[in-house]
A and B are shown apart, each in its own frame.
Chain A
Amino acid sequence: MSSATNVETIALPGAEANALPRKNVLWAYGIVGLFALISLGTFAYNEYYTYLSVYLWFGFIYGVCLQYGRFCFSSAFRDLFAVGVPRMAVGIMIATVLFALVGAFVTATGLSTFHPAPTSFHAVVAGFIFGVGMVFAGGCASGSLYKAGEGNGVAVIVILSISVTQAIFADVGGWTNRLVPQAWHESALSKGLPEVINVGDGWVDQYLAGYVWNQPVTTYAQIMGWSNESVAGAFLGNLMIGVVIPATALLAIVYVFWSRRGFKNKRVKAGGQTDFTFKDELAGYWTMIMASKRTAIAGLVLGIAAGLHMFVIQGLRVKFGVKNAGTLLERMGFDFGISVNGTVFDPGYWYVTTQEAQWVGWVFQKLGSEKMDNIYFGFVNGIPNPAINPADWMSLALIGGAAVMALLHNEFKFKKPTLELATWALIGGALMGIGSRLGLGCNVGAFFVRVSQGDPSGWLFGLGMIGGAYIGVKFFNWWTERKMAKEFAACDF
């Protein structure tokens, strides 16, 4: 073995070596103070703003958790394939199970805001495109938000790319109409949508109304013959069958292929153990789960917060006597950008991509480009002013929450993107934008939320994401190999 004694090793405890500048603390207080001021000021103006503030503070909690746990759905599968690290896959499964547990309680009380999505192969395709994109971009949709809060310029480009791509893709017509199968076109026309939507024009409109809406909508509870709100349906169907069993199995696969060998090697090295019983395997499985406490804690808090978010929003809907925030906005005198159904995007839970599309849609509309003649904006989500869009409050607060954590851990740094990373960010963001619209959501809305609430389409999207991440990693392996080869050559190995 070669010696390394001539190497200066710096072993400095992080806290001592990295003293927290006072300005970081002041900035952190400033961000929290601003959000508090917004909540209190708007509440004093009109109590309906409480609804938006709930989104804001849950967004803040999500941002804090994501940054604390370095919680990025992209890295869950990407790091498994790229560097054999199961940390994030474990964290996501913990968050999913916890969200599912709280969600089961909320559903059983009849206060869930969740609606399952159509289930078919389209979710796998959408997840695949999204999966490739998130590896290219260096982060998923929610990961890019929290990284923007760390001052990461690449993440800002990713957010812009996702936002613009979605707003354009959702409304694209012209030559893309020729790519629509006749059956989709006829089926879309037969839905009797309002004339203003012009459903016969636009690829995504005809994909949605002519194909996706024809697919079955179900949950594991309903497949088993139970209602979602029954105790059996919520806890046995959606929680146990839909989440706990598949998540445990998925983690067992991760353990066998990525973690087991390292665990055994450590045992052998430590005490010469050669025989491994089932009990030892369970110990290895548990060690894998607890390997990154930071990620596990973040997953735990995220899961609980995501469940409570649904509960609180539904409580406010009951209190204010509304089913959607569009009604509240209209009561407050805002009528621009409300859909023909009187609705705006108001998922009632954590979501990322639609509000990103909305603010760009709002900008386009203000610049004179008609964006309300499609299903996505005009019929369902609207394009309200971002300043009063509940989901936009959530995303901005998520960035703010992440910034507070990054500042308090002295990890905030403005990072200017290089041309190489900006290119990957644009491509990756665009693929994620397209994947999101095809899958009716991103890694949060189409995977995390749906899986947690017993919607089979969530696992299908996840399956696609795994495939996409694998292909993305294959590409990056080739790309980095090329670059490293030049550096190695200069070192004369």
Chain B
Amino acid sequence: MKFEKKADHAYLLDVKGYVCPHPQIYTKKALEKLQPGDILEVVFDNPSSGESISTMCDITGNEIVGRAQEGAQCNWNIQKA
């Protein structure tokens, strides 16, 4: 697992290789730490975590502003509400 600051208000969470529930738990904890408007790029390759992260964002109001997929790897950009 890797979490780092990419730029001002932009962070990267790399949870490639992790299975449930790790990607969604790390995403939740990272988002809790950010400020409203900050962007978190989440990189994961566990398909079922995508469903959970998507629903989590829908419930909490955080917006998935970008989704890219290459093979099984997903790069999602989430803007903290």
B72 to chain A, nearest CB (A): 4
Q: Mark A398-413, 1 if CB is under 8 A from B, else 0.
A: 0000000010011111
Q: Given the complex, which residues of B lie within 8 Å of A319, measured CB to CB?
A: none
Chain A residue numbers with a CB within 8 Å of B72 are 150-151, 406, 410-413
- B-contact 0/1 string along A407-442, CB 8 Å cutoff: 001111101101001000000000000000000000
B37 touching A10 by the CB < 8 A rule?
no
Q: Which residue of the partner chain, among B27, B56, B68, contacts A17 with CB atoms under 8 Å?
A: B68
For the complex, count residues of A whose C-beta is within 8 A of B: 68
Q: How large is the interface on B (under 10, 10 to 19, 20 to 34, 35 or more residues)?
A: 35 or more
Q: List the B side residues contacting A473 at CB < 8 Å.
A: 21
User: What residues on B are CB-neighbors of A369 within 8 Å?
Assistant: none
Q: Which residues of A contact B (CB under 8 A)?
A: 1-4, 6-7, 9-12, 14, 17-18, 70, 72, 74-75, 78-79, 82-88, 135, 138-139, 143, 147, 150-152, 154-155, 258-259, 262, 265-266, 269, 291-292, 294-295, 406, 409-413, 415-416, 418, 421, 473, 476-477, 480-481, 483-484, 487-488, 490-491, 493
With A3-B8, A84-B60, A291-B55 known, 12 other A-B pairs at CB within 8 A are: A7-B6, A7-B39, A72-B20, A85-B59, A87-B55, A150-B47, A151-B72, A262-B58, A409-B47, A413-B71, A480-B29, A487-B1
Name the residue of chain B whose CB is nearest to the CB of A69.
B51
- Return the CB mask of B22-54 against A: 1 if under 8 Å, else 0: 101111111001011111010001111011100
- Given known pairs A152-B19, A412-B72, the reply for A79 and B24 (CB within 8 Å) is yes
Residues of B within 8 Å of A10, CB to CB, are 66-68, 75, 77
Chain B residue contacts of A266, Cβ below 8 A:
61
- Asked whether B20 lies within 8 Å of A488 as measured between CB atoms, the reply is no
**Cβ contacts A to B, 8 pairs, < 8 Å:** A7-B7, A10-B66, A83-B52, A262-B58, A262-B60, A411-B72, A421-B18, A476-B22
Contact count A vs B, C-beta below 8 Å: 175
Across-interface contacts of A78 in B (CB, < 8 A)? 20-21
Chain B residues with CB under 8 Å of A143's CB are 48
By the criterion CB–CB under 8 Å, are A138 and B38 in contact?
no
**Contact A487 B38, beta carbon cutoff 8 Å:** no
